[in-house]
Amino acid sequence: MRQQLQVLLNDPDTWLVVGRPSGMALALCKAQNGHRVLYDVMDDMAQFSHGISQRWMEHAHQCLLIQAEAVWGSSERIVQSLQGLTRAPATLVRNGTILPSEAVFERNLGMGTAAHAQAPLVLGYVGTLAAWFDWQALRHLANALPQAQFHIYGPLEGAMPQALPPNVQLRGAVPHSQVFTLMSRWHAGLIPFLHNQLTESVDPVKYYEYRACGLPVLSTMFGEMPHHATDDEGVWPLETTELEGLEKRLRHWHGKLAERHAQGLPLAPANLQSATWSARFESGARDCGWLAAAFQASMVSDA
C-alpha cells in the first residue's frame, strides 16, 4: 500500500492529505520532505489517547506540523495553538456537511410539514457516547420535557449511564447513510458535551448536519459552538435556554419551517450553502494562496 501511494505522490498534481497522525502518514510526509502535504487538524487528537499512545500521538502531530507544506485547523482554538509551529501560517477551515436531498423530507412526510410541526416531540442525538458526553445535561433536559421523546443513537463507550429518565432511549449505532432520514423525524438536534480540553477544540460536524435538515440545535457552549450561536438563530445554548417555554418555541420553529417548505424554500439556513465540503475545500485553497483548481487535482487521503 505504501509503495502504491508513493507512486501516486510522484505525480506533480497529487497532494497527500493527512487527517490524523499515523505511522504511514509520517513516513510518506518525510519521503516528500513535506512537499505537497496538507495536514488537516480536525481535533486535538492526542486527547483521544492515554499514556504512551498519547505521547506518541503528540510526537507524530508535532512532526507533521513541522514538515507539512500546508496546515488547516477546524477551529479557532486549534489554529491559535499552531502559531509558530508550522512552515506557513495555519488556515482556519471549519467543518461542514453534505446537504440532504429534498427527497429525504418528501418521502418521510416529516420535517417541513404541518403534521410534523404538531406531532409528539422527538429530540435526537447521533454520535459516539463517550467521556465527553454530558449525561447530566441530557437528564436535566429530558426531565424538563417529560412529554417529549429523546432518541440517542451511537456506540456507547464506557459504562451504561445510571438513572436515565424514562423518555430517554439509547438506540445504538446506525449507518451514516440513515442519519438524515432519522433527523427528518426529529424536532431538535442535541449536542450535550462537557467542557474539557478535548471539546474546547471541537467544531462538531453534527451541528452542520442538524442545521442542514432545518433542525434547531440544543447544545452546550463548548468549542466552536459560541461562534455558531452568535451567527445562527438556530443554536440554542443549553446553559441559558428557558426550558419552561421550550415546547412552544419548538412548535413555532417547525410551523415556520412548514411555511418555508410550502413556499418551496430550503429548510437549511443560508449559511449552510457555504458549509458544504466542496465549499470548505475551495475556501481553504484560496486562503492558502492556491488556485481553487489545485483542489480539483488528484488527492490522496490518509484519514
- The one-digit pLDDT tens for each residue of the chain (303 residues) are 777 877 888 888 788 899 989 999 999 999 889 898 999 998 887 778 788 888 988 999 999 999 999 999 999 999 999 999 999 999 999 999 998 876 666 655 688 899 999 999 999 999 999 999 999 999 999 999 999 999 999 999 988 898 899 999 999 999 998 999 999 999 999 999 999 988 999 999 999 999 999 999 999 999 999 999 999 999 999 999 999 999 999 999 999 999 998 998 989 998 888 899 988 888 888 877 664 444 444 444 444
pLDDT at 11: 82
Smallest Cα–Cα separation from 126: which of 172, 193, 165, 161?
Answer: 172
pLDDT at 105: 66
pLDDT at 107: 58
pLDDT at 242: 94
pLDDT at 10: 82
**Structural domain spans, the chain:** 2-96+276-302, 102-273
Q: Which helix (H) or strand (E) holds 227?
A: helix 225-231
Q: Which helix (H) or strand (E) holds 41?
A: strand 37-41
The Cβ-side half-sphere exposure at 181, using a 13 Å CA radius, reads 7
Listed in sequence order, the residues at least 6 apart from 276 whose beta carbon sits closer than 8 Å to its beta carbon are 96, 97, 98, 99
pLDDT at 252: 97
Give the predicted TM-score (pTM) of the model.
0.88
pLDDT at 237: 98
Strand arrangement, sheet containing 91-92: 91-92, 70-73, 37-41, 15-18, 299-302
pLDDT at 295: 45
**Dist CA 274 CA 127 (whole Å):** 23
pLDDT at 109: 63
CB 96 within 8 A of CB 277: yes
pLDDT at 253: 97
**Dist CA 185 CA 192 (whole Å):** 20
Task: Indicate the CATH number for domain 102-273.
Answer: 3.40.50.2000
pLDDT at 106: 63
Listed in sequence order, the residues at least 6 apart from 140 whose beta carbon sits closer than 8 Å to its beta carbon are none
**Dist CA 148 CA 172 (whole Å):** 19
pLDDT at 103: 65
